[in-house]
Amino acid sequence: MNVERISLSEWDRMLPSAGFEVFHTAEALSVLETHTDGELHLLGATKGEQPLALMPAFLRQNGIGTAVFSPPPGMGVPRLGPILMPTSPKRRKREKLNREFTDGALDELGGNSSRTLFRMECNAAYDDPRPFLWADFDVSNAFTYCLGIGGNVEEIRSSFSKSLRREVRDAEDLPIEIAIEGIEGVRAVYEDTRARYEEQDEPFPIEWAYVRDLVSGLGDRVRVYVARDSNGEFLSGITVLYSNEMAYFWQGGARADYEGTSVNSAVHWRIIEDIATDPDLASITRYDLMGANTERLCRYKAKFSADLVPYYVVESNGAVMTIAKTAYTFGRNYLPS
């Protein structure tokens, strides 16, 4: 198998119609390349004209060595990593593709070098990280919540916890308007999220210019839902991103109550209703709620009765990673917790 670096236009042509995350799109990668402190490398493998595999990676170099990230940390990208497109359903051939592409990608990126810090959070569709284990990388599990969404919204709501159903019902009786807004709504959600981080004394490395360019670049793959009171005052909001199959809770959702009722539950419910009923979202079958790796957030997200979906985190092995973290001193803005 020939693994080689490809252009963004070649990447766009090779990207399959399913099985990828929203940040795998050429539009998102282009924005990340502009705003990330690192160089974007796009790897592709083909057999003749047939695409077999893809992997994006961001490289940062200094006098000590190289850091390879997929996704780049500090940019609000939950997962990235490889995309496999096997041409055969046979297990042996699928595993051969995975093994050969992993070996080729690591060779191309210098991932096996003792002077390289490697960290990758794989997309949920990538279900076999064993080639990285065999290459002496550390592999661990992380999790997300994915809510399956069919056409019957009442069945979806009936699966929620009793308290969540009550919050949604109570919000329907309040003078709250939840609407899809444009760039001003995106900015309002961004500022509300940033303020919430500041209240908790947590760093918030995401810059407005990046959010603005990402929303502009993704176009119809973005919607921002904003809740306002009867006077038009901002209460809460959520920015949602879309791949071909998945809606992603990306930014917003800071805790907000109105007359004792959770506004965020109402916003989530409006998003879910739209996914289930809007013809423009007919291909979307799941809502990724995020937050499954933080105990505090799980107490709320579990109320949606979504599936707990695992994905894999691949890192340079323990000794190399410890030395590299000290040498690079990336901190919270570069190495996600």
Q: Write down all domains in the chain, each with its CATH number in brackets.
A: 2-137+316-328 (3.40.630.30), 145-309 (3.40.630.30)
Return the pLDDT at 12.
Answer: 98
Q: Is the pTM of this model over 0.75?
A: yes
Chunked in runs of 10, what are the mean pLDDT values of the chain (337 residues)? 94 97 98 95 94 97 87 95 96 96 96 90 96 96 95 92 95 95 97 92 93 98 97 96 98 88 95 96 96 90 96 85 53 31
Which of 54, 59, 142 has its CA nearest to residue 102?
54
